[in-house]
Amino acid sequence: MNRFLTAALAAMVSLTALADEGMWTFDNPPRAAIAAKYGVTLDDAWLDRVQGATVRLEGGCTGSFISAAGLILTNHHCAEDCIAQNSTAGNDFNAAGYLATDRKQELRCQEEAVSVLVGTEDVTAKVAAATAGLGADEVVAARRKVLTGLEQACEEASAKTKGGPLKCERLTLYQGGQYWLYKYRRYDDVRLVFAPERDIAAFGGDPDNFQFPRWCLDMSILRAYEDGKPAQTPDHLRFDWDGADPGDPVFVSGHPGNTDRLLTVAQLETQRTTFMPFWLLRFAELRGRLLQFSKTSPEAQRTAEAFLNIIENSIKVRRKQFDALLDPALFEAVGTAEKSLRDAVAANPALASSAGAWQDIEIAQRTWRDMLVPYIFIENGAAFNSTLYGYARDLVRAAADRTKPNESRLAEYTEARLPALQQNLQAAAPVYPDFEVVRLSFSLERMREWLGPDNPLVRKVFGNDTPDALANRLIRQSALADPAARIALYAGGQAAIDASQDPMIRLAASVDPTARALRKRYEEQVEGPVQRGQEAIAKARFAVNGASDYPDATFTLRLSYGAMKGWKEKGEDVRPWTELGRAFERATGQMPFRIPDRWLAAKDRLDITTRANFTTDNDIVGGNSGSPMLSTKGEIVGLAFDGNIHSISGSYWFDERMNRSIGVHPALIRTALEKVYDGKALLDEIDADR
């Protein structure tokens, strides 16, 4: 425990300690700390080039341009949905792998889009002006209004300029300490170029997930298209095929999804007592249902696979996050840091307006704990776990909100968001009814359990049905699996929704009033007071600590620094790389320890000492999957795909001694393309400008 306590106190009290900690925005990189520790000075050109080559996969990952014609390197697990959606019962590319032998064979990822950050604007002062003097119950709506207006103005302006139009997205940093507009160039047309077999991409499967040593070729190659042609991407990265050596500095550029390092004790308490147990129980059961469903036929297995992988990964993450929350040392460390900041605030009359912030947040958290379960079931839609319900809810809500002024809509249905929504509605992503019924029946049953059979909405939804009967009726009688039906409803607006007899539309419409009421209560009694409190705390923190902190992760562009490094596990040194040969020794021939035939056949041609995976002490988190790992020269020395098991507690604090990132070594990528797959043309394109 003391180990964590020390590390955490260091982390909480001074976030700019000497540890390789932090997910830094590109406008505020810790240049001095990097120079002091690694003797490397990152100049603006380096940062600009890396920023321009790093892409955000809107599905939740990172990638990087690796050729001048839009090739994108990312993880296999980041492309798994796309691969599955392009597969059919007889032709499963997750199982068999895929290589487009020419550009015509590159397969469209129906639901994917990628974005490159091309500009940022600090709008903190504008938000502050628009919300000054408002009560906590009004502040959410006022802030939404000003930010929606700013987004809209930014997009309209960008359409008239060279390089436009851009997507402009609001962003909250430092828990409300700063508000920004981030401006992206978006590529809506993304295609699959190459994917190895799932068995080598995820060798070791769920048992090995978050473990090291590892031997995964967790890579895929996509290509961004513009106007039906490969995008021109002069800002791309080159490979250093030799990779890094132990001790070499390594930089990771990417989009870490979420961390909670700046939460108050009361907010962490909500996670520990309410959110995590609820989440884990729900998904553990869903995992069991889907695993059992997968055994009923190969088709069931195929259709459930991608979703199941996400659930299994998430369970592992949440479990370890929960372990961190259950560790009394975490609360002791956060409590100590919180007290020290509160003491500093109390001693400084200039910060008097921040003094009540912690208490305000605590009161809001009590409300939140009381309403969290119904909120997640009803407003978040956890009661209706199905793709078709997701469509139905979007259609119902968009129809209603499109009749309102842009600034009064739910954030998901503002003008800036509608293009992505339309892309999603018209995507020809297959829907599998049996799989949908399993998920929906499960979630309906759990809603009834947690909210109780006498809850008014439960009664309204269920009538006299069983969860199975209801799920079957909803899924099998709905037409929403057809993109044309969805687009027709979207185009028809409120009148089409009102006239629709589609049972899923009717369900979503009947749930909506309760859901919106919960949302309103949440915004007024939870989100508003919490945001207001967080802004006040952020203000105090800047005043006390200066501007040398990094913000929590928000799935926006960040830089992390570190070095190739192992760690000590129970007193034993873990070597920071693995070699290919061990994977062959470890294979059992059975999933998830099966080596694909193509690799077995190629074995004699391969150098078994080829480095396979390696570790660094970069501070990264989910969302960084697919991130380029870069040398001082800005060349790719690895492809981030995972962290070790200790890294998961990085949601709450960073322990340099234990937290490690795991990457695919470039030597394995080269070996795969050169000696196992017929990847010569791809390699030529990648290495074209050498």
Among the candidate windows 144-152, 284-292, 334-342, 352-360, which touches a copy of itself by CB under 8 A?
A: 284-292
> Considering beta carbons, is residue 42 or 470 the nearer one to a copy of itself?
470
Stretch that binds a copy of itself, among 177-185, 204-212, 348-356, 378-386 (CB under 8 A): 204-212
The Cα–Cα gap between 92 and 85 comes to 10
Selected from 420, 469, 479, 496, the binder of a copy of itself by CB under 8 A is 469
Binding range to a copy of itself, per CB under 8 A, among 3-11, 69-77, 230-238, 444-452: 444-452
Site string for a copy of itself, 244-273 (x = CB under 8 A): -------------------------x--xx
Q: Mention every residue, 6+ apart, whose C-beta is less than 8 A from residue 429.
A: 85, 110, 111, 387
Asked if residue 76 lies in contact with residue 196, where contact means CB atoms within 8 angstroms, the answer is yes
Nearer to a copy of itself, 110 or 651 (CB): 651
For residues 591 to 630, the per-residue mask of contacts with a copy of itself, x marking binding by CB under 8 A and - elsewhere, is x-x-------------------------------------
* Exposure of 159 in the CB half-sphere (CA atoms within 13 A): 6
- Reading the block at residue 499, the tokens are 């006239």
Using alpha carbons only, what angle is made at residue 24 by residues 170 and 536, rounded to the nearest 5 degrees? Answer: 60
Q: Is 296 in the site for a copy of itself (CB under 8 A)?
A: yes
Q: Which of 378, 371, 412 is nearest to 522 (CA)?
A: 371
Q: Restricting to residues 300-339, which ones interact with a copy of itself according to CB under 8 A? A: 315, 319, 322-323, 326-328
End-to-end CA distance of the chain: 50
Q: Which stretch binds a copy of itself (CB under 8 A): 281-289, 350-358, 525-533, 610-618?
A: 281-289
Q: Is 474 helix (H, G, I), strand (E, B) or coil?
A: helix
Question: What is the closest distance, in whole angstroms, from the C-beta atom of residue 587 to a copy of itself in the complex?
Answer: 9
Assess 435 for contact with a copy of itself (CB under 8 A). no
How near is the Cβ of 89 to a copy of itself at its closest, in Å?
21
Kindly tell me which of 268 and 563 has the beta carbon lying closer to a copy of itself: 268
Q: How far apart are CA 197 and CA 79, in angstroms?
A: 12
Among 139, 168, 398, 438, binds a copy of itself (CB under 8 A): 438
By CB under 8 A, residue 456 contacts a copy of itself = no
Q: Which of 329, 667 has the CB closer to a copy of itself? A: 329
DSSP 302-335: HHHHHHHHHHHHHHHHHHHHHHHHH-HHHHHHHH
User: CA 660 to CA 542: how far, in whole Å?
Assistant: 29
Spatial distance between the Cα atoms of 421 and 409, rounded to a whole number of angstroms: 14
Dihedral over Cα of 547, 558, 325, 653: its sign: negative
Q: How far apart are CA 557 and CA 63, in angstroms?
A: 11
Count residues contacting a copy of itself (CB under 8 A)? 49
Which phi and psi angles does 565 have, rounded to 5°? -165, 140
Based on the shown chain and the rule CB under 8 A, indicate whether residue 690 belongs to the binding site for a copy of itself. Answer: no
Nearest to a copy of itself of 369, 519 (CB atom): 369
Closest distance of CB 589 from a copy of itself, Å: 6
CA atoms of 480 and 390, how far apart (whole Å): 10
Positions that interact with a copy of itself (CB under 8 A): 204, 206-208, 211, 269, 272-273, 277, 280-282, 284-293, 295-296, 315, 319, 322-323, 326-328, 438, 442, 448-449, 452-453, 462-466, 468-469, 588-591, 593
